[in-house]
């Protein structure tokens, strides 16, 4: 089953995304900041939780992030096309759950996505 994990998504945007996902039978799961120190695989329910995780006290994230779980390339392309067609506000930081990032926490994902976004922005100029 496809899932979309939401991080720091405001309520109005969340509702728009949920409506789109309902039409495509995608489960939407909002992740709370208190869970940001947990591995992405645990948050997605694909890896068993092995203990308590305490997020670093000196870190916080306010950027919106979308994490796609169990999407193949065709499903992701279709979802993103429908997202744009629906006029839903853009979220810059997006990723799919992969074998490479399944053990990362949200802080690590955020750092990687910021770097990727900056690199892609430079290419577009």
pLDDT in tens, 63-75: 999 999 999 999 9
Domain that residue 85 falls in = 3-124
At 39-65, the pLDDT tens digits run 999 999 988 877 666 656 677 899 999
Give the pLDDT confidence score for residue 80 in this predicted structure.
Answer: 96
Sheet of 65-69, strand order: 27-31, 3-7, 65-69, 93-96
What is residue 54's predicted lDDT score, i.e. its pLDDT? 60
Both tokens of 8, joined, read: 């720091």
Q: CA neighbours within 13 Å on the CB side: how many for 92?
A: 14
The residue among 10 and 56 whose pLDDT is bigger is: 10
Give the residue among 25, 27, 49 at the shortest CA–CA distance from 39.
49
What is this structure's pTM? 0.91
State residue 101 phi and psi, 5-degree precision. -110, 0
User: How many domains, in total, are found in the chain?
Assistant: 1
């Amino acid at each position: 089953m496809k899932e979309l994990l939401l991080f720091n998504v405001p309520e109005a945007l969340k509702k728009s995304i949920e409506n789109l996902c309902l039409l495509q039978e995608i489960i939407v799961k909002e992740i709370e900041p208190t869970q940001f120190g947990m591995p992405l695989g645990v948050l997605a329910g694909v890896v068993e939780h092995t203990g308590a995780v305490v997020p670093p006290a000196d870190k916080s994230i306010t950027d919106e992030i979308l994490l796609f779980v169990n999407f193949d390339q065709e499903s992701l392309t279709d979802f993103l096309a429908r997202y744009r067609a629906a006029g839903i506000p853009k979220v810059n930081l997006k990723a799919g759950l992969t074998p490479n990032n399944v053990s990362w926490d949200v802080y690590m994902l955020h750092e990687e996505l910021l770097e990727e976004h900056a690199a892609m922005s430079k290419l577009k100029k």
